[in-house]
Amino acid sequence: MKENLGGPFGAALVDAQGTVYVGSNTVLGSHDPTSHAEVNVIRQACEANKSHDLTGSILFTTCYPCPMCLGACIWANIKTVYYGCTPQDAEAIGFRDDFIYRYIQGGCTDEQILELLPSDREACLQLFAEYSALQKEIY
């Protein structure tokens, strides 16, 4: 945090085997808006466990996870997250997660925030059909 790599956000993940992974927010240092502490420790644990499935893991964070990090927890099958500060606490010091929660609660329809437009569905459906025919693992 003092090195100005990211905000006051940290996370620790304890996997099912008891191994602890620790990470921090590195958005500013990496120039990557997805480098939140939770995502960073999930990436570490997945790589170390050679699996995208972190069932049995517990995540500890300094703040309630943003929508992206909530999604990462769900995708990784993390069922328990302990957090310190609330989204309102983060907003009070200038972080802007709260408007994303409102956008999602509003059905993702505010085009001032993000415009979602369908494009070339038929070609994409063909890709999906080809993948399905390969009978690959679905995650």
User: Mind listing the pLDDT tens digit for each residue in 14-60?
Assistant: 999 999 999 999 999 999 999 999 999 999 999 999 999 999 999 99
pLDDT band (50, 70, 90) for residue 1: low
User: Mind listing the pLDDT tens digit for each residue in 104-132?
Assistant: 888 878 788 788 889 999 999 999 999 99
> pTM to 2 decimals?
0.87
- Burial group, residue 45, by CB count within 10 angstroms (0-12, 13-18, 19+): buried
DSSP 8-state code for residue 110 = -
Q: Check residue 64 and give its pLDDT.
A: 96
Catalytic residue IDs: 38
Domains of the chain: 10-134 (3.40.140.10)
Cβ neighbours of residue 110 closer than 8 Å, sequence gap 6 or more: 103
Cβ neighbours of residue 70 closer than 8 Å, sequence gap 6 or more: none
